[in-house]
Chain A
Amino acid sequence: MSTAVLEVKDVQKIYGTKGESQSHALKGVSMTIDKGEFVGIMGPSGSGKTTLLNVISTLDRPTEGFIEIAGTNITQMKNNQLADFRSQKLGFIFQDFNLLENLSVYENIALPLSLQGVPSKEISNKVSKVAQTLGIEEILQKYPVQISGGQKQRAAAARALVHDPAILLADEPTGALDSKNAKSLLETMTDLNENHQVSIMMVTHDAFSASYCKRILFIQDGKLYTEIQRTGDRQQFFKQILDVLAELGASHDVR
């Protein structure tokens, strides 16, 4: 029995129409993420990480290939279906602009549930539960301008998780945080993954952030370059990542 939450097969993405200057951002990527995994995506700038995340998160359509999330083929869906799918099955954390600054933290977290028409009482219960998990009960009534960057990303994580998505997608979630806040967010994500069985896919530049993952896929020039699995402790994994990155950089220089 397959426990995959995400299956990507031969996905290609070409930006621009024929005749114009085209950019081949993904050149046939295949990968699988199983339920409960914490997978990192790394690669040099311009390698196609964000593009991959965008086609998986249904924000963009692949030019070619097949993507299945939680048993649903998303490549054939209409726009409205895609939007509904995103709001029900996916959770997002972006680098910034995660929260609407004109809504309170509570309202921000409640948004995915409101969209699904969950009754007000139930929303209230679920929000306080997820806030507890992320340790942000105190700031629920505050507005984004009134809280710190780290708290913002926690609130974003709460917003991403409140509706029990099949998978949590994060694009450089620590990108705008200082190291202390970054570390705390990563530890929270690890906790979510280990103790609450949340499947996570995280795109990152940063080897330190990546070292919190269980498995890392490296992309280069729109293709899967290699993948490494964490076997030992985090320190060791961190070194392993640096090695691969050095290798990647070297191959880049040669070209």
Chain B
Amino acid sequence: MLLKLSLSSMRKMMKDYLVLLVGLVISISIFYMFQTLALNSDYTKNNSMISSIQIVFNVGAFLLAFITIFYIFYANSFLLSLRRKELGMYMVLGAKKGKISQILFLETLTMGIISLVIGSLVGIALASGIGVLLMNLLEISTDGYYPFYLPAVWMTWGFFLILFIITSTINATRLARATELALIRAEQQNDQIKSKGIGAVLVAILGVILLALGYTCLHLIMYLQALGFIVGAISCTIGTYLIFISLLPVLVQALKKNKKLNDSKLNAFTFAQLRFRVNNLTKILGTVAMLIGLGVGAMAGGLAFQQNVNLFTSVFHVYDVNLHDPVEADYEALKKMNVLEQNTYRYKVDDKAYYYLKEDLLANPLLISTNSTQNYSADNKPKLVTDPLPKETYIISASKEDNGKYDAVPEDWDKAISANFINYQMIEGKSVLVVDQATYEKTAGSEHKVLLAQVDDYLKYTQELKAMDERQKQMIGSIANVEVKDVYTSSKYSTYAGMYIFTSGTMFMGFFLGIAFLAMMASCLMFKILSGASRDKDRYSMLRKIGVRQSLLVGSIYKELFMVFIFPAIIGLMHVLLGMEMFSFILLDPYLNIWIPTLIFVVIYAIYYYITVQLYRGIVLPKEA
């Protein structure tokens, strides 16, 4: 009987449970997807490229688990509070407390198991869809990667089952400790109206100061190092909470004090509702702001790392193509590209040294990058090396015997030649010299050449460049007598590819982590708002009776909840925008494409805002006939 009652009441609160379920499914499925990568060591062992990002996914799964614990506790206590009255009623009617606790325990657990089943299925789908897509994008073989991976399933089920059992137990014991009257009266609390005085203003100022201090620390992180990060993070967090505790209530108070505004239409009511919310939701709003910061930050950070790969490579490499002794296939490939500039430079090799022909260098001087990672600007264009080379012979890299024999080449030339001509695996400790025509002709060794080219956009030709790189590796491998897989080329492409995989993995994780964070946070906010909705019912019904148009009431709901949602969003995004600066010491441009994560956040958040308004509206307003 009691079971039937509880089932029917659960059905009534279907929407609320659905929101909880969606949050859980998102978390579980992403957790599972991370685990398929983190746990499958056979796969990662065979893919040296991906093993570097395994750690990233382990960290991601840990963070996700951590935040999920909070989410589950939070969401469950809200659902419990929604049902307190009903459960209290059962007790008054004579149902045994133990029995009710038992039912509650089963309910929570059932909910958990349902979400686990759906979550695992969604997770497998995610892994086989997005996971495999990722590998293909990174051009990593998917052999050995299993979207359905049993250890990952065990891990996911084990972790979440324990979590659910703990929360169910806590829910049940919490109920067991409450008295019937406390349960029934749960909702009959009046809004307390505390007037905010000068104290609040002081606290608000303190909050702003702390935020400013935090941001400054993060900006100066290059000098302050770990201390800057710790102080920055702590003072940002405290500052955020202080602002929500003081500044917001003061702001709303100020809105209300504006008599003209307050006396217009339904504003008095809207502001009063808002005042109640900002006074009551300070902690959750602060938390939401922080987690928005973290979520969007994770996305933006991952993305920034990935997007900066291209900038990084352009700092180190001016030339897109760099080939020793190009073969027919290389020329064919070059024909397919839009080549802006292409030069070849001759050199000879004997058993002692590499001899580059000075006249070739002077005929087509090399370009060098004027950027560095410390001091990056898109305006720093590559410059031509123009230093004259009057001497007969210069040395760039000296073998033991040649040490000190020749003049060193001017610095810019050294930089240009080192960057484009020298592969240390290839030269095997020989000297590298620049010699004039006469000396060159006298030298006995075999003649070779290097081809350097710039194309319009090297990212368009990654396929061809990859093939070129493979051929170079073969060649260098045979010269240096090492296995091809151990050869490192110094081409732009190889620099790019190496960083791209790591950063893409980071970005991928950042995105999913961010999405999971945002979904869970937004649903927490939603639960909190909805749990107070039944209390507002009488107010809306009274307003309707005295003749407030339905559209005006709906408008008021939209307005009020918009304010509640927008404040943490603004502060959270501000954290991201100002906080990303701290990456500027490792990233060239932390803000590259930051609009993408911002947009994703806005979309997710807007969806939750809309759903919250609709659910809230469904509770407080009757359907319009």
Q: Which residues of A contact B (CB under 8 A)?
A: 57, 59, 61, 79-80, 82-88, 90, 92, 94, 97-98, 100-103, 107, 110-115, 117-118, 120, 123-124, 143, 145, 159
Contact = CB atoms under 8 A, between A and B. Distances in A.
A175 B50 CA distance: 75
A104 to B, nearest CB: 9
By DSSP majority rule, is chain A's interface helix, strand, loop, or mixed?
helix
B374 interface: no
A80 B268 contact: no
Contacts of B624: 79
Contact of B264 (A82, A83, A92, A114): A114
B546 to A, nearest CB: 6
A107 B262 CA distance: 9
Interface string B159-193: 00000000000000000000000000000001101
A101 B624 CA distance: 25
A80 B553 CA distance: 12
**Nearest 6 pairs between A and B by C-beta?**
A87-B547, A86-B547, A102-B272, A120-B263, A83-B549, A107-B268
A85 B550 CA distance: 13
A112 B547 contact: yes
B539 interface: yes
B269 A103 contact: yes
A97 B268 CA distance: 17
A117 B546 contact: no
Interface string B536-571: 001101111111111110000000000000000000
By DSSP majority rule, is chain B's interface helix, strand, loop, or mixed?
helix
Given A57-B545, A100-B542, A79 B269 contact: no
B617 interface: no
Contacts, number: 89
Interface of B: 190-191, 193, 259-260, 262-269, 272-273, 275-276, 538-539, 541-552, 624-625
28 contacts: A57-B545, A59-B544, A59-B545, A79-B549, A79-B624, A80-B550, A80-B551, A83-B549, A84-B547, A85-B547, A86-B545, A86-B546, A94-B542, A98-B542, A100-B269, A100-B542, A101-B190, A102-B191, A102-B273, A103-B272, A107-B262, A112-B547, A114-B263, A114-B264, A115-B548, A120-B263, A120-B264, A124-B259
A103 B542 CA distance: 13
Nearest to A143: B193
Contacts of B262: 107
Nearest to B258: A120
A130 to B, nearest CB: 15
Contact of A92 (B260, B538, B545): B545
A123 B547 contact: no
Nearest to A160: B546
A111 B269 contact: yes
Given A102-B269, A111-B268, A124-B259, 6 more contacts: A82-B547, A88-B547, A100-B269, A101-B539, A107-B272, A115-B552
B256 to A, nearest CB: 9
B624 to A, nearest CB: 6
Contacts of A118: 263
Nearest to B540: A100
Contacts of B550: 79-80, 83
Given A102-B276, A102-B539, A103-B272, A117 B547 contact: no
Nearest to B275: A102
Nearest to A58: B547
B197 to A, nearest CB: 16
Given A97-B542, A100-B539, A115 B259 contact: no
B268 A83 contact: no
A92 B549 contact: no
A63 to B, nearest CB: 13
A42 to B, nearest CB: 22
A102 B193 contact: yes
Nearest to B272: A102
A143 B192 CA distance: 10
A117 B266 CA distance: 10
A123 B265 contact: no
B68 to A, nearest CB: 35
A97 B548 contact: no
A118 B265 CA distance: 9
